[in-house]
Amino acid sequence: MKSSLWWHLRAQFPIYVAAAIIFIAGFALGNLTNPANAQNIGTLSEEEETLFQPLWETYRLILDQYVDPYEAEFTPQQLLDGAISGMIDALGDEHSGYMNPESFALQNTDLSGEFDGIGVVIRRNEDLGGIEVVNVLAGSPAESVGVQVGDIFREVDGVDVSEDTNLELAAKVRGPAGTDVNITFEREGELIDLTITRARINIPNIEYSIIEDTNIAYIQLNQFTSEARDQIDEALAELDVNSRDGLIFDLRGNPGGLLTSAIDVSSAFIKSGPILIEDFGSNRDEIVFEATGDFSGITVPLVVLVDETSASASELVSGALQDTDNAIIIGETTLGKGTVQTWRSLSNGGGIRLTIARWLTPDRNWIHGAGVTPDIMIDWDPDDGSDFGGPNDPQLSAAVDYLQTYDVIETIEKQ
C-alpha cells in the first residue's frame, strides 16, 4: 500500500505532527466555521470608551516619549498587533488567536491541497533556538536544491528569523510560484545559503485501495477540506465498497478542517439523527446538527483508525460514528480538541480566530482534553520496527483482523 505524507511524518515525528506547519498548506486550521467579517460591531458605549482610554493613552505615550521611537524596531502597526494579541491571549485559550495581515492571508487559504511554496514541513525546536525542517517533500523545490531534514532556518531574504513563530516564518517563505526566496540554513553548525524557486505543489488529500491479499477497502483522508465528501464518494464508487468484506477509514494524522466538511463526511456513514451538538455556553441556545440525509448506502462493516494526532474534525467524525454504533474505532486516544472556532477578518487585513462554542458528540460527551477513546486500543511505537501504513502496521493489521473475524462470524450466523 502506498504510504502518504502523513504516514511518513507520523513515523518520524509522532508527537509533533499536529503542531507542524507545511509551507504549502495551512495545516493546523482546526474545526472551523467559514471566515466572516467582524467590522460591523457598532460603536463603543460611553463605558467602553472610558475602559479603553488607557490603551490610547499608552499608545500616544509610546509614540511621543519613547526614546528614539522612530529608530526603534517597531511600527504603529506592530503596537496594534501586540495590543490585539494581548487581548486574545488574556482569554487563556490556546485555540483563539490574532493573525496579522500576512499570517491571516496565509492561514485563510482554502484547503484545496494546492499551494505555492518550497515544499517542506517545519516545527519550532526550542532546544536548537529556531525552526527546523522535519520533512522535505519529494519532487519539491526544497529537495531540488538540497534542503535536508534537520536544517534550521536562520535568515529569509537577509532577515533574521530565529525568533519567528511557525506562521511568521511561513509568511516570509511562501510566495507566488516562479519567484525566488533566499534562505540561510544552519546545518551541523555551518551556515548554508540557498536560493529556492517557489512552485505550485499538490498534495493528495485522499488515498484509497483494496488492501493486498484481502477483500477489504481502505480510504485515508488527510484533511477535512471543502472537497472531502466528493472525494470520499468517488473513492467509495471506485472501490465498489459494498462488494467488499469491510471498509477501513483512516483518520490517523488528520488534524481536522472545516466543520461543514466534517458534517458532510459523517453523513456519508450515518443515515439519520444527530452528528454533533454545538454548546455556546452561558445559557445560550445550542444547535443540534443532524445528518444531511446524503447517506452513501454503505452496508459493509466500518472501522475507523485514529491516533494521538487525529484532531478536531477527525474527532467529531469518529465520535459521532462511535456513539451511533456505525463504526468500530481502533487505534490510540485522539488529541482532544472539542471546541469550534470562527474566523473574523479585521479592517487592517488581519483576523481573529475565536472559540465560539464547545461541540458534543451525539451522546453529549465533551472530548476536550480527553479525546475519543477507541473501542480497541492498539499502540504504535515508531521504535519497534513497525511500518506505519504498511504490512507491519499494528493498527491497520488489527483493523483487518477485526473485519475478517467479523466476516467469519457473519458467515456462520447465516448458515
pLDDT value for 206: 92
Q: Which residues, other chains included, contact 187 with Cβ-Cβ below 8 Å and sequence gap of 6+? A: 148, 150, 151, 152
Q: With beta carbons less than 8 A apart as the criterion, state whether 339 and 31 touch.
A: yes
Tell me how crowded residue 41 is: count the other CB atoms within 10 A of its CB: 8
What is the pLDDT at residue 243?
96
Identify the H or E element spanning 341: strand 339-345
Looking at residue 389, its pLDDT comes to 62
Query: What pLDDT is recorded for position 64?
Result: 84
pLDDT of residue 175: 85
pLDDT bin (cut points 50, 70, 90) of residue 39 is low
Percentage of residues in the chain having pLDDT higher than 90: 44
Give me 314's grid cell: 477527525
Report, as an integer, the average pLDDT of 163-180. 85
Asked if residue 8 has pLDDT above 90, the reply is no
Q: Mean pLDDT over residues 69-87, rounded? A: 79
Write the pLDDT tens digit of every residue in 245-260: 999 999 998 888 888 9
pLDDT score of 7 more than 50: no
pLDDT at 341: 83
Q: How far apart are CA 73 and CA 232, in angstroms?
A: 50
> Which overall architecture, per CATH, does domain 114-202 show?
Roll (2.30)
**394: exposed, middle or buried (Cβ count in 10 Å: 0-12, 13-18, 19+):** middle
Kindly list the catalytic residues: 312, 323, 337
Phi/psi at 146 (5° precision): 95, 20
Q: Please tell me the total number of residues recorded for the chain in this structure.
A: 415
Q: What is the pLDDT of residues 279-302, one digit of tens each?
A: 888 767 789 999 999 999 999 999
Based on DSSP, count helices (H) and strands (E) in the chain, helices before strands: 10, 23
Q: Using pLDDT thresholds of 50, 70 and 90, give the confidence band for residue 40.
A: low
Tell me the domain boundaries of the chain: 114-202, 206-414
- For 339-380, the pLDDT digits (tens) are 888 888 888 888 888 888 888 999 999 999 899 999 999 987
Q: Which of 234, 46, 236, 10 is nearest to 135 (CA)?
A: 10
Weakest mean pLDDT among 26-35, 326-335, 349-358, 376-385: 26-35
Q: Could you give the CA distance from residue 310 to residue 312 in angstroms, rounded to a whole number?
A: 7
**pLDDT band per the 50, 70, 90 thresholds, residue 215:** very high
- Tell me the pTM: 0.74
pLDDT of residue 253: 82
Mean pLDDT of 194-208: 89
Measured between alpha carbons, how far is 204 from 264 in angstroms, rounded to an integer? 19
Question: What was the pLDDT predicted at 383?
Answer: 57
Kindly report which listed range (32-41, 68-77, 370-379) carries the lowest average pLDDT score.
32-41
pLDDT category, 414, cuts 50, 70, 90? Answer: very low
Between CA 347 and CA 23 the distance in angstroms is 26
Contact 182, 193 (CB under 8 A): yes
pLDDT value at 415 more than 50: no
Q: Which CATH class is domain 206-414?
A: alpha beta
pLDDT above 70 (res 386):
no
The helix (run of H) or strand (run of E) holding residue 97 is: strand 97-99
Cα separation, 183 vs 191, in Å, equals 10
Tell me the per-residue pLDDT of 103-146, one tens digit each, with 9 for 90 and over: 777 666 545 556 788 988 787 788 888 999 877 887 899 999 99
Of 269 and 412, more confident: 269
Say what the pLDDT of residue 2 is: 38
User: What phi and psi values does residue 346 have, to the nearest 5 degrees?
Assistant: -115, 165
Share of the chain above pLDDT 70, in %: 81
> Are domains 114-202 and 206-414 of this chain identical in fold?
no
Confidence of residue 235 (pLDDT cuts 50, 70, 90): very high
pLDDT at 112: 55
pLDDT over 70 (residue 155): yes
